[in-house]
Amino acid sequence: MNADILRRFVRDIPDLPKPGILFRDITPLLADPEALKLAVDAMAAPFAGKEIDVVAAAEARGFIFAAPLALRLGAGFVPIRKPGKLPFDRNSFRYELEYGADELEVHVDGVSKGENVLLVDDLLATGGTMEACCRLLEQCEANIIGCSFLIHLVPLGGQDRLNPYTSHSVLRYDDDELESELSVQNREPGPAV
Ligand X SMILES: O=P(O)(O)OC[C@H]1O[C@H](OP(=O)(O)OP(=O)(O)O)[C@H](O)[C@@H]1O
Ligand Y SMILES: Nc1ncnc2[nH]cnc12
Alpha-carbon distances, residue 32 vs 10, 38, 133, 169 (angstroms): 11, 10, 29, 20
Task: Give the integer Cα–Cα distance in Å for 154 and 174.
Answer: 5
Give helix 33-44 / helix 61-73 axis angle, nearest 10°.
70
* C-beta of 46 vs 155, nearer to ligand Y: 155
DSSP assignment, residue 182?
Answer: H
Q: Are strands 22-25 and 11-14 parallel, antiparallel or unpaired?
A: antiparallel
Strand stretches in 4-159, DSSP E: 11-14, 22-25, 54-58, 76-80, 90-96, 101-107, 116-124, 143-153
Task: Give the integer Cα–Cα distance in Å for 185 and 181.
Answer: 6
Is 8 considered catalytic here? no
Mask for 107-126, x = binds ligand Y (CB under 6 A): ----------------x-x-
Minimum CB distance to ligand Y, residue 22 (Å) = 6
The reply to whether 95 sits near ligand Y by the rule CB under 6 A is no
Minimum CB distance to ligand X, residue 49 (Å) = 27
Exposure of 25 by Cβ count < 10 A (0-12 exposed, 13-18 middle, 19+ buried)? middle
Residue of 24, 51, 59, 61 marked catalytic: 61
* C-beta of 142 vs 151, nearer to ligand Y: 151
Count, residues near ligand Y per rule CB under 6 A: 6
Out of 6, 10, 21, 73, the residue judged to bind ligand Y by CB under 6 A: 21
* C-beta of 20 vs 76, nearer to ligand Y: 20
Out of 123, 136, 150, 162, the residue judged to bind ligand X by CB under 6 A: 123
The reply to whether 79 sits near ligand X by the rule CB under 6 A is no
* C-beta of 27 vs 112, nearer to ligand X: 27
Is 91:139 a contact under the CB 8 Å cutoff? yes
Residue of 11, 59, 98, 177 marked catalytic: 98
Which residues are known catalytic residues?
61, 98
Chain positions contacting ligand Y, by CB under 6 A: 21-24, 123, 125
